[in-house]
Structure formats: structure tokens, C-alpha cells
Amino acid sequence: MWKAFLKIAPYGVAFVLLIALDLEPSSAAAAECRAGFDLGSTEVRVGSNDNHEGKADRFEYLDHVKKNGVDEALFHQTVKDIKTALQDAQMPPDCALVAGGFSAWRAALDAGEADKLSKMLDRLHQENIHNGRGVPLYVIPIDVEAIYAHTAAKHALGEDLTTPFIWDIGGGSMQFGSEDKAWGAALGQDAWRALFCGKIEDSSDPKCPPNPVGKDAKRRTGELLAADVGKARKKLGESGIEVTAVSPPFVFLIHPILNCVVEGPVDDGGFSRDRLSKAIALLAEKSDGKIREVVGANGTEPCVELAKSPYIDSSVTSMLLVDTFMEGLSIERVEVANAKINNVQGIIEDDRSFAWAKDYGCYLDRLREKGVTAYDEAKPAECP
């Protein structure tokens, strides 16, 4: 069993290594250099099938879109970060470029910015980004991202992935994915924190101080997320699913905290819902400082270091999110694996990306017409 590392690491973004399902790498992919960008909620990364990798400095794309919409600053920041990532990767000049946009770009569509976004993407495609060429950027549906994530985890973990489903929590979105089933929603760490603050803490600050969450938080969280849990259960079509959590909020926050605060032997492989519920009950009425005291009271080096983490303030709200979905989907245990995955490879190996690139204007027409489903439901062959 893959063991979770009990150490502190930033977790604002869940890096998902995407390898598209049902799409074998084409002969063209093997013969030519392909480069794919992962435009996440807080970062731009790039990689190629020739093993060039690069990234840009962190930028809060999701926060920017929510506050400012699709504006001129977003365009210039995107161009800058794409160029920086390419330079960092030392990308060959002849690589074919494609990009996938995830939480932030879906948020722009959700806010009714489809026309502005399509115009910005057209400009990005015409900009001299790399060797006189621009970049076609696609807004990737959340269910597609979830299935990519499962294949990525399978690729990264090999035989250590023992469950049919994976569970990934990023900054803007959360997904469950298997080989053929997927569900996701805008319930990533930052998005969930904002929802919790607004609906349960009655605060206009999306990063409000939530602790102590109080005894009633578990019930109210269940009520708030009931519709999402119902949709997930219907889409996944199963109860009692077996799942492996592959993202930093599980690996570096929830799982090690449970081992620090709940009595009993350390469980390196994962955690049960019973253990999670006990931790919530223990921490629900404690302030940030008191939570740190409880976590560090174990006395072991990993727990003492964990108590210093700046992310402790979001630990109980994250536990409430996970507990609600574990209960709603009848998940009794979650395995935990540090997969260190991102979206780059999937966008490279998904032949749809390169098929659309041949008539990117048609994709933008479909994006305005269909929204986020254009990438998955529309087909380049349908274009005039």
C-alpha cells in the first residue's frame, strides 16, 4: 500500500496528470512533438511528449475570474504565464501546442462570460506565443477531467492503486473518477471554503475564519451539500464505492491530522469514516490555536510539524466536506496515495485537442453555443 507522507506541503492546487481514456496515443503523437498546458486555478504548467516540463509562478486565476470576470488583465497574465512556462521548459520551437483550461475557465462560463471568453481565446490563438504561433485553449468539462484523473492516478501509482475510483480535491473543483464513471463539482478547497463562509458562517469574506465550526456544522454541511451528494450518487451509480484519495488536501492535511488526534494505531494506508467523525467531534468547537495544540500534543515530530502548518485553519471544514460525501456515497474507508499528478499529459494525448486545433474558430463557435460541453459533445467533423 502506498504510504502517505506525514509532512507539510502546500496544497492549493491538486496537480492532476491527465491521460485521456479511450484514446490511444496516435501515430502523429509518436512522430511529432506535442506540448500541452494545464491552466489550473492557481498555476500554469506545460509538458511535452519529449519530456520537457515547465511552469510559471503562482497566480490566483480562479479568484481573479470571480472578482473581475474575463478582463484585459486576465488575457495578459495568461500570455505571460504561458510564455514563462515555455521558457522554463526550454520547449523546442516545432512543438504543436494545445492547452486545457479547468476550474477558472469553467467559472467564467458559469458567470455568463462565454462571449468575452471566446474572444479572449481567439486572441490567445492569434498571439505570437511560440515560434510565431498562438495556443488553442479548450475549456475542459469537469467529468472529462475526473476520468482523466483516474487514468493519471493509475499511471502514476501502478499496482498501488487498488480501488476502482479516485477522489481528487483541487483549489476550485472536486472529482470522483473511475475508468468509465465520473462526477465533479466546484467544491475544491477554495470554492468550498467560500461556500462554507457564505452559507454556514454567514460571512461575505470567502476566506472567513471558520473555527470553531460548532456542533451544528456537520448537520448544516449535510443539508448544504445534499443536492450535490444526490447528483454524485446518481452519476456514479453505486453505493459503498471503493476510493483512493490522491490529492494534497488528503495526503498532507486530513489524513495526518487524523493520525495525530484520534487515539489508536497510526493507519498509514488511509482512514475510516468512523475515525474521521471522531476527529470532527473532537475539533468542531476549538479555535485555530486549540486545534494546533491538539494536533501537536501527540508529541511525535510529524504531528509537531503539522501543528505549525498555515493550512490548519481549513482542516475541519475540509473534514466536513469529506465526511458528508463519505456518508452520502456510503464510503466506509478512503485509501490515501500521494500521486503527484497534473493535467499536462492528458491534454497532450487527447486527440480531440489536436483535431479541434485544425478548426479552432469552429470550436469557439461551439463554445458560445454549447458552453463547456462543446469540447466533449461537439465534434470537429460537424464543422462546415
pLDDT in tens, 322-331: 999 999 999 9
Is the predicted pLDDT of residue 250 greater than 50, yes or no? Answer: yes
Answer whether residue 190 shows pLDDT above 70: yes
Average pLDDT value for residue range 60-78: 95
- Residue 168 — very low, low, confident or very high, per pLDDT cuts 50/70/90? very high
Chain mean pLDDT for the chain: 88
Q: Which of 11-15, 132-136, 260-264 has the lowest mean pLDDT?
A: 11-15
Please give the Cα distance from 277 to 92 (Å, whole number): 51
From 184, 302, 325, 199, select the one nearest 253 (Cα to Cα): 302
pLDDT at 377: 83
Say yes or no to pLDDT of 222 above 60: yes
**Residue 11, pLDDT score:** 36
pLDDT at 13 over 90: no
Q: Which domains does the chain have, with CATH numbers?
A: 27-141+342-375 (3.30.420), 162-336 (3.30.420.150)
Question: What pLDDT does residue 203 have?
Answer: 95
Q: What's residue 4's pLDDT?
A: 36
Q: Is the pLDDT of residue 30 over 60?
A: no
